[in-house]
Amino acid sequence: MMIVDQERQSADALRAYAETLGRWPKVSEWNQYAKEHNLLLYPQISRKLKKNWKALKASFGYDDTLHYIEKSEQALFALAEELGYWPNVAEWDEYAKKHGYCPYRILHVKTRKGWKVYRKEFNQL
């Protein structure tokens, strides 16, 4: 009975943590969070729920690439606003990696927008 409760508690906490982040956490982020809150680590939750990280992500509704792209674009514009200037690609990629957003290369492939197009969109906001 306690094991089932720990599974449910961990699954609920994983969902809440993803909602707090606004994105699906990296395994390392989840494991750190789980350790701090006495929850199941990824290998345990994966085994108990019989799903790998990608399948867990999908089951919690975080497999939507468009949502991920949208969040990344919003973060890009927010970063430019915060900096007070349009960042270069290297600055964005570093920020994106640190905060779990799409690097420019992926944004470009998924949206077909060039860096100048993003800058123009930002200037029109």
Q: Is 32 left (phi over 0), alpha (psi -120 to 50) or beta?
A: alpha
9 DSSP assignment? H
pLDDT in tens, 84-110: 999 999 999 999 999 989 899 888 887
Which of 97, 88, 91, 98 has its CA nearest to residue 118?
A: 88
pTM of the predicted protein model:
0.52
Alpha-carbon span 95 to 36, nearest angstrom: 25
Alpha-carbon span 118 to 125, nearest angstrom: 11
Considering just the CA atoms, what is the radius of gyration of the chain in Å? 17
pLDDT in tens, 22-39: 788 999 999 999 999 999
